[in-house]
Amino acid sequence: MRRLLSGMRPTGALHLGHLAGALANWRRLQDEYECFFMVADYHALMSEYEHPQRIRESSVENVLDWLAAGVDPKRSVIFRQSDVPQHLELFAILSIVTPLGWVERVPTYKEQLRELQGRDVATYGFLGYPVLQAADILLYKAHAVPVGEDQLPHLELTREIARRLHFLVKRELFPEPQALLTESARLGGTDGRKMSKSYGNTIALAASPEEITKSVQNMFTDPARVKMSDPGHPQTCNVCGYWKVFEPQGYQRLWEECATAKRGCVQNKRELAEALVALTEPFRAYRKRFKAPSDAAAEVERLLQEGAKKAQAVAQQTMAEVKQAFGLAG
């Protein structure tokens, strides 16, 4: 079986965007690949180092959502980056062979320097963000990496670093990792802007039915539709956009009803809220399996320790090969 690796940064609660953009795919990909799913807590630290208190808690909460979404610890290795020190070891070696110009021109770098508000990411470490990501991928000799479009430059850089390393040590240690592009289910935030925690326009997977209903009631709809008798424009309506993502089979009928003014925005929102409450039920139900949140956290810790052992076994093997190739003590 070919190997797959992906990761998420534990910087807060997972939301509907993560479900549509990643988790639904992760679940499915377990049938086709030997999967490694990683809590990228070092990557989170690179932007959150001034306020790292939430990283540990988010790591646990995120893994609960992965499990509830059907990521299966019996079939996949679920682990936390900081439990496997070889990530940093390989990161250091890749940093040595990566030309400065390659990291400086990664588009996400300049963008984040400009856009990450309230965080000073003008650090030595942050420049290496995609090099650490390359280490994550190469450490497990992953063939496939499911990512969103924004991550494609990081995959390209990973391949370039691997090629350079192969050239330097005159042998092939790694397969060329390929991106598995998640067909971008574009989901706007509840206010119609880009969905982002920092805008406060997300719906958390573990949100209560009341919270979900309230968020949906406050959603923006088609501004050109003033009266219910006006025909709607589902292509530009955010609520209708959610139907398209979460009701891919049946959304066309709903869109048709909207466009012919048979369905009003109030009904549309009420039914979307109901659908989203049902969709997110597994995330609440999974947490209810435990008597207390501390029991859930303990169970996740136990799973992460198990996962770390499996990840370490692979990581140790790869590092032994890499160190040997560079004349270092293994």
Does residue 71 interact with ligand TRP by CB under 6 A?
Answer: no
- Among 9, 18, 80, 263, which residue sits at the site for ligand TRP (rule: CB under 6 A)? 9
Residue 232's SS3 state is coil
Residue 7 as a binder of ligand TRP (CB under 6 A): the answer is yes
Three-state SS string across 27-45, please? HHHCCCCEEEEEECHHHHH
Whether the CB-CB separation of 12 and 147 falls below 8 Å is answered with: no
**Per-residue contact flags (x/-) with ligand TRP for residues 77 to 116, judged by CB under 6 A:** ----------------------------------------
Assess 269 for contact with ligand TRP (CB under 6 A).
no
Exactly one of 16, 20, 35, 40 binds ligand TRP (CB under 6 A); that residue is 40
**Degrees to nearest 5, angle at CA 210 with 208 and 216:** 105
Closest CA to 125 of 50, 67, 181, 43: 43
Single residue of 136, 174, 189, 221 touching ligand TRP by CB under 6 A: 136
Between the CA of residue 94 and those of 62, 91, 163, what are the distances in Å? 28, 5, 11
- Check residue 40 and give left, alpha or beta (phi > 0: left; psi -120 to 50: alpha): beta
Rounded CA-CA distance 73/117 in Å is 36
Of 142 and 277, the one with the shorter C-beta distance to ligand TRP is: 142
Measured from the CB atom, is 132 or 204 closer to ligand TRP? Answer: 132
Closer residue to ligand TRP, CB minimum distance, 28 or 253: 28
Q: Quick one: which segment of 4-12, 197-205, 239-247, 300-308 binds ligand TRP (CB under 6 A)?
A: 4-12
Q: Within 145-184, which residues bind ligand TRP (CB under 6 A)?
A: 145, 147, 151
Residue from 14, 20, 137, 187 binding ligand TRP (CB under 6 A):
137
Q: Phi and psi (nearest 5°) for 109?
A: -65, -55
Q: Which helix (H) or strand (E) holds 236?
A: none
Q: Between vectors from CA 58 to CA 208 and to CA 25, what angle results, nearest 5°? A: 75
Tokens found for residue 141: 């000799």
Closer residue to ligand TRP in complex, CB, 177/264: 177
Interface of this chain with ligand TRP, residues 43 to 62, rule: CB under 6 A: 43
**Maximum separation of any 2 CA atoms in the chain, in Å:** 76
Contacting ligand TRP (CB under 6 A), which of 3, 4, 5, 322?
5
Distance of closest approach, residue 40 Cβ to ligand TRP, in angstroms: 4
Stretch that binds ligand TRP, among 28-36, 132-140, 192-200, 318-326 (CB under 6 A): 132-140
Which residues contact ligand TRP by CB under 6 A?
A: 5-9, 40, 43, 133, 136-137, 145, 147, 151
